Amino acid sequence: MRVENSFVPVRGVGEKTERRLWRDGVTDWGAFEECDALGETRRDRVLRFVDEARDALERDDAGFFRDTFPDAELWRMYRNFEDTACFFDIETTGLDADRDKVTTVSFHRGGETTTLVRGDDLTAENVASELERSDVLVSYNGRRFDQPFLETDLGVSVDTPHIDILPLCRRLGLTGGLKGVEDAVGVRREGVEDVDGREAVRLWYAYEDGDTDALERLIRYNRYDTENLRPVVERVHDRLHEEVFASALDA
Protein backbone atom coordinates (compact mmCIF):
# COMPACT_ATOMS: atom_id res chain seq x y z
CA MET A 1 0.00 0.00 0.00
CA ARG A 2 1.14 3.53 -0.81
CA VAL A 3 0.08 7.05 0.02
CA GLU A 4 -1.64 7.25 -3.38
CA ASN A 5 -4.23 4.76 -2.11
CA SER A 6 -5.10 6.95 0.86
CA PHE A 7 -7.95 9.37 1.48
CA VAL A 8 -8.11 9.46 5.30
CA PRO A 9 -5.84 12.52 5.59
CA VAL A 10 -8.71 14.59 4.18
CA ARG A 11 -11.05 16.23 6.69
CA GLY A 12 -14.42 14.52 6.56
CA VAL A 13 -13.09 11.29 5.07
CA GLY A 14 -12.83 8.59 7.73
CA GLU A 15 -11.89 4.93 7.50
CA LYS A 16 -15.44 3.83 6.61
CA THR A 17 -15.69 6.29 3.75
CA GLU A 18 -12.23 5.32 2.50
CA ARG A 19 -13.11 1.62 2.51
CA ARG A 20 -16.35 2.37 0.66
CA LEU A 21 -14.37 4.22 -1.99
CA TRP A 22 -12.02 1.27 -2.38
CA ARG A 23 -14.91 -1.20 -2.65
CA ASP A 24 -16.43 1.00 -5.38
CA GLY A 25 -13.20 0.82 -7.37
CA VAL A 26 -11.79 4.18 -6.28
CA THR A 27 -8.52 2.68 -5.12
CA ASP A 28 -6.17 5.59 -5.79
CA TRP A 29 -6.05 9.31 -6.49
CA GLY A 30 -6.28 8.88 -10.24
CA ALA A 31 -9.44 6.80 -9.98
CA PHE A 32 -10.97 9.44 -7.71
CA GLU A 33 -10.38 12.19 -10.26
CA GLU A 34 -12.24 10.16 -12.89
CA CYS A 35 -15.40 9.62 -10.84
CA ASP A 36 -18.06 11.66 -9.05
CA ALA A 37 -17.56 10.16 -5.59
CA LEU A 38 -18.54 12.11 -2.46
CA GLY A 39 -20.38 15.40 -2.24
CA GLU A 40 -19.08 18.64 -3.65
CA THR A 41 -17.43 19.90 -0.46
CA ARG A 42 -15.59 16.70 0.41
CA ARG A 43 -14.68 16.10 -3.21
CA ASP A 44 -13.05 19.52 -3.43
CA ARG A 45 -11.09 18.80 -0.24
CA VAL A 46 -9.85 15.49 -1.65
CA LEU A 47 -8.79 17.10 -4.92
CA ARG A 48 -6.89 19.86 -3.09
CA PHE A 49 -5.17 17.25 -0.95
CA VAL A 50 -4.22 15.18 -4.01
CA ASP A 51 -2.66 18.21 -5.72
CA GLU A 52 -0.62 19.05 -2.61
CA ALA A 53 0.35 15.42 -1.99
CA ARG A 54 1.56 14.90 -5.55
CA ASP A 55 3.71 17.99 -5.29
CA ALA A 56 5.10 16.67 -2.00
CA LEU A 57 5.99 13.33 -3.61
CA GLU A 58 7.79 15.10 -6.44
CA ARG A 59 9.82 17.00 -3.83
CA ASP A 60 10.42 13.84 -1.75
CA ASP A 61 8.79 15.78 1.09
CA ALA A 62 8.05 13.07 3.64
CA GLY A 63 7.26 15.75 6.20
CA PHE A 64 4.05 16.60 4.33
CA PHE A 65 2.69 13.11 4.98
CA ARG A 66 3.87 13.17 8.60
CA ASP A 67 1.83 16.32 9.08
CA THR A 68 -1.31 15.21 7.21
CA PHE A 69 -1.68 11.46 7.89
CA PRO A 70 -3.01 10.08 11.18
CA ASP A 71 -0.12 8.65 13.22
CA ALA A 72 -1.62 5.16 13.03
CA GLU A 73 -1.50 5.30 9.23
CA LEU A 74 2.03 6.60 8.67
CA TRP A 75 3.04 3.06 7.68
CA ARG A 76 1.35 3.71 4.34
CA MET A 77 4.20 6.01 3.32
CA TYR A 78 6.85 3.29 3.74
CA ARG A 79 6.77 2.04 0.12
CA ASN A 80 7.05 5.59 -1.19
CA PHE A 81 10.21 6.28 0.82
CA GLU A 82 11.70 2.83 1.42
CA ASP A 83 14.85 3.54 -0.61
CA THR A 84 15.84 6.38 1.71
CA ALA A 85 14.32 5.02 4.92
CA CYS A 86 16.65 4.72 7.90
CA PHE A 87 16.19 1.91 10.40
CA PHE A 88 17.62 2.78 13.79
CA ASP A 89 18.00 1.40 17.30
CA ILE A 90 19.81 2.44 20.48
CA GLU A 91 21.28 0.73 23.52
CA THR A 92 21.35 2.45 26.90
CA THR A 93 22.51 2.04 30.50
CA GLY A 94 18.90 1.70 31.66
CA LEU A 95 15.28 2.62 31.00
CA ASP A 96 15.08 6.16 32.38
CA ALA A 97 15.78 8.82 29.74
CA ASP A 98 16.26 11.45 32.47
CA ARG A 99 18.91 9.45 34.30
CA ASP A 100 20.44 6.83 32.01
CA LYS A 101 22.68 7.29 28.97
CA VAL A 102 22.78 6.16 25.36
CA THR A 103 25.70 3.77 24.79
CA THR A 104 25.41 2.87 21.10
CA VAL A 105 23.22 3.90 18.17
CA SER A 106 22.98 2.02 14.88
CA PHE A 107 21.56 3.40 11.63
CA HIS A 108 20.81 1.04 8.73
CA ARG A 109 20.22 2.65 5.35
CA GLY A 110 20.70 1.47 1.78
CA GLY A 111 22.19 -1.86 2.87
CA GLU A 112 24.86 -0.24 5.04
CA THR A 113 24.97 0.12 8.82
CA THR A 114 26.69 2.80 10.88
CA THR A 115 27.16 2.34 14.62
CA LEU A 116 28.11 5.24 16.89
CA VAL A 117 29.65 4.49 20.31
CA ARG A 118 29.60 6.64 23.45
CA GLY A 119 32.99 8.13 24.21
CA ASP A 120 34.07 7.73 20.60
CA ASP A 121 31.89 9.02 17.76
CA LEU A 122 28.48 9.16 19.44
CA THR A 123 27.91 12.91 19.32
CA ALA A 124 24.89 15.12 18.74
CA GLU A 125 26.46 16.30 15.48
CA ASN A 126 26.95 12.79 14.13
CA VAL A 127 23.45 11.68 15.10
CA ALA A 128 21.95 14.82 13.54
CA SER A 129 23.92 14.13 10.36
CA GLU A 130 22.47 10.62 10.11
CA LEU A 131 18.95 11.94 10.66
CA GLU A 132 19.36 14.65 8.03
CA ARG A 133 20.26 11.99 5.44
CA SER A 134 16.99 10.15 6.07
CA ASP A 135 13.55 10.88 4.63
CA VAL A 136 11.86 8.50 7.06
CA LEU A 137 12.92 6.82 10.32
CA VAL A 138 11.78 3.31 11.19
CA SER A 139 12.06 1.83 14.67
CA TYR A 140 10.58 -0.65 17.10
CA ASN A 141 9.21 1.31 20.08
CA GLY A 142 11.40 4.22 19.01
CA ARG A 143 8.86 6.96 19.52
CA ARG A 144 8.45 6.06 23.19
CA PHE A 145 12.02 4.96 23.94
CA ASP A 146 14.79 5.64 21.42
CA GLN A 147 13.71 9.10 20.27
CA PRO A 148 13.22 10.52 23.81
CA PHE A 149 16.64 9.17 24.82
CA LEU A 150 18.35 10.85 21.87
CA GLU A 151 16.56 14.10 22.57
CA THR A 152 17.22 14.06 26.33
CA ASP A 153 20.73 12.62 26.51
CA LEU A 154 22.24 14.11 23.37
CA GLY A 155 20.03 17.14 22.87
CA VAL A 156 19.16 16.10 19.33
CA SER A 157 15.91 17.36 17.83
CA VAL A 158 14.25 14.47 15.96
CA ASP A 159 11.95 16.00 13.36
CA THR A 160 12.26 13.30 10.70
CA PRO A 161 8.98 11.46 9.98
CA HIS A 162 9.04 8.39 12.20
CA ILE A 163 7.29 5.07 11.63
CA ASP A 164 7.26 3.09 14.88
CA ILE A 165 6.28 -0.50 14.09
CA LEU A 166 5.55 -1.61 17.67
CA PRO A 167 1.90 -0.42 17.63
CA LEU A 168 1.56 -1.87 14.13
CA CYS A 169 2.77 -5.23 15.42
CA ARG A 170 0.30 -5.07 18.29
CA ARG A 171 -2.43 -4.27 15.77
CA LEU A 172 -1.58 -7.56 14.05
CA GLY A 173 -1.39 -9.51 17.31
CA LEU A 174 2.42 -9.77 17.22
CA THR A 175 3.86 -9.54 20.73
CA GLY A 176 6.98 -10.41 22.72
CA GLY A 177 9.41 -7.63 21.85
CA LEU A 178 11.36 -7.33 18.62
CA LYS A 179 12.86 -10.82 18.87
CA GLY A 180 9.40 -12.26 19.51
CA VAL A 181 8.08 -10.49 16.42
CA GLU A 182 11.06 -11.72 14.40
CA ASP A 183 10.24 -15.31 15.38
CA ALA A 184 6.59 -14.81 14.49
CA VAL A 185 7.28 -13.46 11.00
CA GLY A 186 10.22 -15.74 10.19
CA VAL A 187 13.20 -13.39 10.56
CA ARG A 188 16.31 -14.97 12.11
CA ARG A 189 19.43 -13.71 13.86
CA GLU A 190 22.62 -15.62 14.66
CA GLY A 191 25.34 -15.17 17.24
CA VAL A 192 23.48 -12.91 19.66
CA GLU A 193 20.44 -15.01 20.47
CA ASP A 194 21.16 -14.86 24.21
CA VAL A 195 21.60 -11.07 24.35
CA ASP A 196 18.70 -8.91 25.48
CA GLY A 197 18.31 -5.39 26.85
CA ARG A 198 19.53 -6.34 30.32
CA GLU A 199 22.57 -8.12 28.94
CA ALA A 200 23.29 -5.11 26.73
CA VAL A 201 23.60 -2.98 29.88
CA ARG A 202 25.98 -5.52 31.45
CA LEU A 203 28.07 -5.63 28.27
CA TRP A 204 28.50 -1.86 28.32
CA TYR A 205 29.70 -1.79 31.90
CA ALA A 206 32.03 -4.71 31.17
CA TYR A 207 33.48 -2.67 28.31
CA GLU A 208 33.98 0.31 30.61
CA ASP A 209 35.92 -2.05 32.88
CA GLY A 210 38.25 -2.87 30.00
CA ASP A 211 36.56 -5.80 28.19
CA THR A 212 36.79 -4.84 24.50
CA ASP A 213 35.12 -8.11 23.46
CA ALA A 214 32.04 -6.99 25.38
CA LEU A 215 31.80 -3.88 23.24
CA GLU A 216 32.09 -5.92 20.05
CA ARG A 217 29.27 -8.15 21.22
CA LEU A 218 27.14 -5.15 22.19
CA ILE A 219 27.67 -3.55 18.79
CA ARG A 220 26.80 -6.80 17.03
CA TYR A 221 23.57 -7.02 19.03
CA ASN A 222 22.67 -3.39 18.32
CA ARG A 223 23.33 -3.83 14.62
CA TYR A 224 21.18 -6.96 14.47
CA ASP A 225 18.30 -5.06 16.06
CA THR A 226 18.67 -2.39 13.41
CA GLU A 227 19.27 -4.52 10.33
CA ASN A 228 16.48 -6.98 11.17
CA LEU A 229 14.00 -4.13 11.25
CA ARG A 230 13.93 -3.98 7.46
CA PRO A 231 12.68 -7.55 6.82
CA VAL A 232 10.34 -7.27 9.80
CA VAL A 233 8.85 -4.05 8.41
CA GLU A 234 8.47 -5.65 5.00
CA ARG A 235 6.42 -8.49 6.48
CA VAL A 236 4.41 -6.24 8.80
CA HIS A 237 3.62 -3.88 5.93
CA ASP A 238 2.44 -6.74 3.72
CA ARG A 239 0.17 -8.04 6.48
CA LEU A 240 -1.30 -4.60 7.06
CA HIS A 241 -1.82 -4.20 3.33
CA GLU A 242 -3.87 -7.40 3.32
CA GLU A 243 -5.82 -6.43 6.43
CA VAL A 244 -6.55 -2.81 5.51
CA PHE A 245 -6.58 -2.57 1.71
CA ALA A 246 -6.94 -6.00 0.10
CA SER A 247 -9.64 -7.10 2.53
CA ALA A 248 -11.75 -4.06 1.61
CA LEU A 249 -11.57 -5.00 -2.07
CA ASP A 250 -12.70 -8.55 -1.27
CA ALA A 251 -15.61 -7.45 0.95
Summarize pLDDT for 100-129 with one digit per residue, the tens.
Answer: 999 999 999 999 999 999 999 999 999 999
Indicate if the pLDDT at residue 230 is higher than 90. Answer: yes
pLDDT band at 251 (very low <50, low <70, confident <90, very high): low
Helices (H) and strands (E) in the chain, counts: 13, 5
Residue range 188-207, pLDDT digits in tens: 877 666 778 889 999 999 99
Segment holding 127, helix H or strand E: helix 124-132
Q: Is 137 helix (H, G, I), strand (E, B) or coil?
A: strand
The CA distance from 216 to 212, in Å, is 7
Question: Which residues pair with residue 88 across a beta bridge?
Answer: 107
Q: What percent of the chain has pLDDT over 70?
A: 98
* Banded model confidence at residue 45, pLDDT cuts 50, 70, 90: very high
At residue 155, does pLDDT exceed 80? yes
As a whole number, mean pLDDT of residues 150-179 equals 94
Q: According to the model, what pLDDT value does residue 72 have?
A: 94
**Cβ–Cβ < 8 Å for 29, 90:** no
